[in-house]
Structure 1
């Protein structure tokens, strides 16, 4: 089984980036993959919150992902990894990530003073190599914040592949049209080649305008293997219960809705598509 690694990214908020990350991790796990998700988003409503992962996000003394990125760990990287009831593991977010740009700059300055190399945008890749993560996992998904900066750059440098959720609205289409610019800028900043595994139109309604947006996405030459209809009740319910949509449907839905089951099947299909493309 080939190593699969990707970053779920959108430059706009409200497109379901974190929800999609959590549920794809669940879907990959259902298909027999060993999955690790890294939460690099310092916001309170991050993937760690959605999955109800116990964190020490406000404890500056505790070891956390930010400490490892600045080469000041307090333990082994493996000790940061937490199991979930869904079959995949998570490295949770931490409040120290809010100050990651400044922390990385200080670490870089110190390294330069000591005559050592320190690449602030490539730290996560090095941390994962040093921790021999590929020995334990065949799938890595990273959920960074939407804004450009070292969180995103480290995620992209570590995975080299992107999954792009979008909403088929006017603003969403502007994001789609700007994907080439996004890729060009990231590749220039990081001096590497990136791939787009798929674009995922999310929160689709039934209006003719939205159907037209879907056609335009395809005309732009990007792969959109599935479209996720507006399933607010399903996904908002999973946030309320702090679990994946698969778990919410199986354990909290007394009345099983066929269209929600179809949405979960689409997420499985998307995971399978990403695995196929990623293995090429």
Structure 2
């Protein structure tokens, strides 16, 4: 089973688009895929796949309620099926206060069971196991917010692995240099082993500085199955089309309107790279 969290300490690294496109690529290769949105920002995975309609509904059941053991309904009712063949558990605004909710749940647990430590970072894992997700899906991809948080820690505890998008720039180089420290800190904080299954450079250009960063990346130990070129237009169009890059290219979206995009071979090559990334994950987990 493929279980991974897509995370980078730096912003603007196409984290959410990496989750979206990899999830669709896996689905097209025959996998049953569940994507989990743990990012409270409006521009998130839930918006890309057009399942964000209950984000601000205070009465709606959501994943946070299940994580603090106060569900309003069945777990399977949280899952939304998208037109591109993947299932998504959408984000909810309660994620913004996840730490406070977990603190309160810990207080209640400790009052009920004095001396028993509340496993705050294991709550997503508990929910997924209790609902047999590991047997219902072939792949689970999690998209947390781009900061160290209880959402990130729950995601890593549940998946044990990272896919790390990076930008090949000075900022991205710093993020990449900090990847080893990030993994060490996660392992120490959560008391588990964490593996990096892929580093995915984006906005790869042809400048001298960019080529220098590519060479430095190749000299490091992290697996780099693909590099994504400068595809700002394609990635931005995903938000208007509310779908993956596969949908944008194959249905010809421009400004949210299908059928207007001319054929661009380099964009088709980008789709093929996400398929390569999906195959890489399959091999890593097998």
Normalising by structure 1, what TM-score? 0.97
Using the alignment, how far apart are the partners of 1:181 and 1:135 within structure 2? 33
How many Å apart are 1:117 and its aligned residue? 5.2
Using the alignment, how far apart are the partners of 1:104 and 1:55 within structure 2? 25
Using the alignment, how far apart are the partners of 1:94 and 1:132 within structure 2? 22
Q: Structure 2 residue aligned with 1:273, among 257, 267, 280?
A: 280
Using the alignment, how far apart are the partners of 2:228 and 2:85 within structure 1? 23
What's the Cα RMSD here?
1.0
Using the alignment, how far apart are the partners of 1:140 and 1:210 within structure 2? 32
User: What is the DSSP-based 3-state SS (H/G/I as helix, E as strand, rest coil) of the residue aligned with 1:22?
Assistant: helix
Q: Unaligned 5+ residue runs, structure 1?
A: none
CA shift digits 1:235-255 (9 cap, x unpaired): 111112111110111112441
How many Å apart are 1:274 and its aligned residue? 1.2
The answer to whether the 8 A contact 1:55-1:93 is kept is no
How many Å apart are 1:86 and its aligned residue? 0.8
Q: In the alignment, what sits opposite 2:54?
A: 56
Using the alignment, how far apart are the partners of 2:239 and 2:203 within structure 1? 16
Number of aligned residue pairs: 277
Q: In the alignment, what sits opposite 2:143?
A: 143
The answer to whether the 8 A contact 1:203-1:230 is kept is yes
Using the alignment, how far apart are the partners of 1:58 and 1:266 within structure 2? 35
User: What is the DSSP-based 3-state SS (H/G/I as helix, E as strand, rest coil) of the residue aligned with 1:229?
Assistant: coil
Using the alignment, how far apart are the partners of 2:73 and 2:26 within structure 1? 29
Q: In the alignment, what sits opposite 1:252?
A: 252
1:30 aligns with 2:31: no
Q: In the alignment, what sits opposite 2:207?
A: 207
Using the alignment, how far apart are the partners of 2:186 and 2:177 within structure 1? 16
Stretch moving more, 237-246 or 17-26: 237-246
How many Å apart are 1:55 and its aligned residue? 2.9
How many Å apart are 1:54 and its aligned residue? 4.0
The answer to whether the 8 A contact 1:42-1:95 is kept is yes
CA shift digits 1:206-255 (9 cap, x unpaired): 11210110111121211111100001111111112111110111112441
The answer to whether the 8 A contact 1:55-1:94 is kept is no
CA shift digits 1:13-57 (9 cap, x unpaired): 100000110000000000000000000000011110111114311
The answer to whether the 8 A contact 2:52-2:91 is kept is no
